[in-house]
Structure 1
Amino acid sequence: MDRTQGISRPDAGLETHARVTPPSGDPDNTQLLYSTCTRLWSPRRRVRVDPDRQHRYSATVSIPTQVPEHPWAVYLTDSDQRFRLLGFDFDSGRHGRGVAIEDSDRLASQLTELGVAHLRAHSGPTGGQHVWLRLAEAGADPDTVRKLAHALSQHYPSLDTSALTNPATGAVRPPGTPHRAGGRSTPHLQGRALITALAEVNRGTTPEVVTWLIARHPHVEQHPSPVRHRAVHQIVEDSTGPRLDRPHRSLPHRTEALLGTAPKPGVDRSALAHTILLSMARAGRSLDDARAAVATAPGLIRLREDAARGRDDTERQWSRALARAATFTANSDNAQREPIDDELDAIVHALAATTAHWGRRGGASDERILHALTALARTARTRILDIDCRRLGQTCALDASTVSRRLRVLAGEGWVTLTTPSAGTRAARWTLNLPPDLGAEITSHATQGEPAPASGLGLTPLTHHTHDLWSPLRSGGLGALTARVHWFYRSGVHSVTGLSEQTGYGTGAIEQALTRLRSTGLLRSNATGEQLLGVLETVAQTRGVAGTNARRALRHLVDRELFNWWNEEQEWRSTPGKKRGTRRTTSTGMLALPISAPARVRYGRFPTRSNGRADYFTARAVVSQISSASRSAA
């Protein structure tokens, strides 16, 4: 097979013709659909999840080995953002159940006439419809699929085109997935007909089906809107060396300050050099300008020392900065940036400039929490966040208790401030502070609007550090310390001394981490991006830690349910007058109620011991049992 667990190989295409065999003891096809429509079809090794059933899908996890108990969605594109799946989502919310069914009927008829294998499913209890097909060969490019979505939207009013027009993060719930309002996404076919249809869809259909469908749906062309796009700056070369084909301009004041200031102890001098060269490249400077700066500027001492030791790396680093500057988002005047972007860039750069600081006890968790808060702040467009420890723990792959402890440490160091404590069901409000005065090299990035230098892994630190593989050593993972060593090793720091300087760990700990990485083959792998996640997932499965983060998310979901249930119980008890309420029950045969129903209605009275105190052990069993009953009924 050319695909493992549904992970695409863009250079090989789709060649799999896997047989679909229903597992025994699975009358509702849940395991069959999960193995096929999620694990086999997913173009990426990660899925988006909605553990609290709020339809946010803000977190991603590696594809779990077992069927999750909460909704999830698969991406439609692979790591190259080419569509390997087409999931047509007909929403009943805007025009009603009847229109959604009629629209899906008409599109399915078109596919049948074209001889295209596809699978239809009821998305859940609200009447929405999904139509799925799998693309063979190299998939379809995003622009063509976007054109198809525009054409179809003029014929099918209930079609939700968001996933088809967002190649980076667009995702749809596959067949077999729970719906937040109850039930699951259920195929129209059952039994042998379903098995046959899955086998046909597995073979894939030619990507030309996209153009066929466009031709069958006459439409008014979409006029391009003035959106941000990639600058098309060409790299040219003259007597002064390679440079961008753009006018020579003055360097930003912050870059001038970086050039004229020697790095402080503990600052990542390689990252600082990349920052300076990137800014020089965007200002139209040439290789000769870069060499002249390296010869004298205090801020580029790292490159100057390398040259003195006989390893002149200036030309290679300039080429790297030039290539990146050539593809920067067109926004020369920063007109579309907001102050929040500059502030968050400053925080990210402060984290990169103080990497050795996070080598202290608990520092790896602190660093991860700050990266998670920064990512959430970018989405919320504010540094003031209302977030509870469990939800933050899901984002940074830590237990809620760990997050609670480490937030207090970060508050003591000034990175965050507890603005408003939690109260009842209201989460605590935290302010992500601007970095302290750690030198000009920390805040320069924010002013220039440039992100921190990439590590060469093709991943963000948060995505890398939160993988299941880096679970604690006691659980069978490689540990957070090893994750940080791997990150810097893949960034080009290979010596034990260099890794110790970057991570803040002792040489003994570094050697142990390198031994672990060497034994798993991770030091030999050159994979990046989604391919690297695939390598990490393979090692995680071998070590038995795959799915750790998904299981943690489920525990946090139960914890939140218990918390809400107890608060509702407290409110009910404090209400004056005669008490009337639902009897407590632990029966798994009770009617499954929507997730939006109050906890006290779904679970009854909160269990208590003989002394009147809350019995959380029994309460947790009630939540687990009734949740299981709901899934079985679905």
Structure 2
Amino acid sequence: MPAPGVSNRTGVPSPSTAPKINPHTGVLPLFESVRVDLQDVFLQRSPRLAIRVDTRNRHGQWQHKYVERALPQQAPRGPYAVYLSSFFGRFRWLCFDLDDKRGEVGPDLATLLRWLEEAGLTYVVAASGSTGGRHVWVTAETLLESTLVKSIAVAAAKRLPTLDYGLLKSRTGAARPIGAPHRNGGRSELLLPMASRRAADLLTPATCGNPSDAFTRLLLIIDAVPAPQDIRPRVVGRDQLAEILDDEQGPRLAGTPRTALDRDTMSLLTRRPPADRVSEVCGSLLTKLALRRWTLPMVEHLLAERPYREGGLLHLCTAPGIGPLRVMLDEADIEEKLERQWARCVAYAATLPLDEEALERSENIGDVVALVGQLQTAADACPERWATEAGPADRAALDLFCLLALRSGSTMLSLDVRRAALATGHGRSTMHRAFGRLSLDSWLGRATDNGPAGTYELLPITASHPAFESVARGGTQGNPPPVGDRRPPLISLLQARLAAGQADVFAYGRATRHHSGGLGHHAGRVYQQLAERQERALSLAEICYRTGYRPRTAAKHLARMRDLLVATRSVMTVQHECPTCQAVPGERCRTAAGAVLRRRGADQHATRQTLAAERSSTPYYRPRTGSLVAAAKALGTHGRLAARARRYAVEIELYRWWQQEEAWMHTPKAGIRTGVQTHEEQAALVLTTLPRQPRRRYPRGADGRGDHAAARARIERRIATA
């Protein structure tokens, strides 16, 4: 019987242990008779008698919160990291962390390896985990000073956008060694050199062959390469709404700082956070300060006050200890931690929507308000465009885009059809077709986007636009009011119009045995005109002029609304002006001499009586806003929008659940717990598929395929019990 790992032919490795092609390099590695565990190498050469170990939450998932533990004899089974420097801040290893989330790793890796070879330094390259990141380990024969390592890290970061240099600037910097597991699955794998014994020699100070002067040469080589304009690498996402400035005051959002803090920010700053929310409170506080255009020196001034150091900024001054206890950091570590956290919060704040005060100060808000005003004027100038069968849905979609543009200060908007459907009272398919029609008519422009929601841009009215002639023929005269006076009325107008369209009484569809029909969205358009001008009554002629409907159609909708007391009819028979003597309503007619007219049988001129008779034959209509719910209950359509929102919530959760299942199916399962990971109170949780929630196994049929009907039923039951 052959020995384990050897085939029947003498000296030939069995297929189970035969060397395989490296998936990262495509090269067949040399056969290695004795494999060295690199995790033991890191633990034996650790510059400190401690490591940092990841912790689990109550659901058994790794939460990426590392705590310090004593140096073990064997490597932990979960994610852990080894310190790069000693307790006094002198470095034994330099770990260059190239993160694929910051950009393309390949060019930066080639550049870094070329620098190391020119400096005469040996290195070890490893895959950081399940993603495309890389770790480049460089060992020093003697411990290096922190100032030299920090200079190398800062110089390299100016030229390598994907380099995360925070662990090289901090005296408490730690990195996962080669072979350590990743919290999302997979392990850090050795790439170069392919023999683990050779890699162990390069990670050992006595055999690495990297003297201290070689690192000085590395710094000179890096500084010889011209750096780009930006002195600090950062990721500018596609959803960034604010400009980030990076100068001698550190990273900050463009604008004038607002030093006065509101009540919520002061509460976060002065109160001591709970033990399990120290980092969360600090992140929220720094984000609020970044949105108020604060600078790094201003935040450093807060750290000089003891109440703030023990309040919301406690995370910057301490590190996690045993249990609820926290370990105080020295001033150098506090400064480094503040710079790192501040840069992260500023980058995140740039992706958040601007508040009202920031919007008023932004440079492009005037252009956005002018464009929205132009679009609304053009839409009102051609009412017959919205009187067609699909017109109410198209106008509601256009109004929603205009409202979102005014709120966000941007004409480039990402909007999914379900969110639009709930905001307008229409269906998701109706909104999808409305987006397409508005794009064909040059109201919207489709932008390229790979996100889950479609991205559109509001287009200005040009000579080729279908509504250009209507605007030119019926455009307004005079200078428009300032932006500060135009934006709030437009927002109020669009909000009221969309709120009226959401009413269940205007739900579409004819009544059947299984379906209760509402008045329809065309009746909703008529009601919107009444609600927008509820301070005065509107005649049938004015309603037809503003909506584009024929008198017969408008009268039909008004009659149905009158039957449900949604609208009332009023007749103006008193208090008319006099065309003869120009008497205002409420005054009696007078003669040419100025005396009060007192003729037998009449106290008014004949022209005034004729005007009153003409107006008494013209009906006027007013809305009754408080009767919409009662009318919907009378029609049987009450709760239609709430049911649609519940159905869309189920569809969104079902789609997210299936996406999570697909991601799990394509994830390597080595070292990952499989099986059902649930707990007894899971049915009482709020519906979400955040990564921290325990994984729920997707229902499967007898053939192994996903059973979407069963998954939908489970989600509906959880919604019913939530």
Pairwise same-fold verdict (TM > 0.5) = no
The interval holding the TM-score normalised by the smaller chain is 0.3 to 0.5
TM-score (norm 1): 0.42
Bigger Rg, which one: 2
Tell me: higher relative CO, structure 1 or 2? Use CA pairs within 8 A at least 6 residues apart: 1
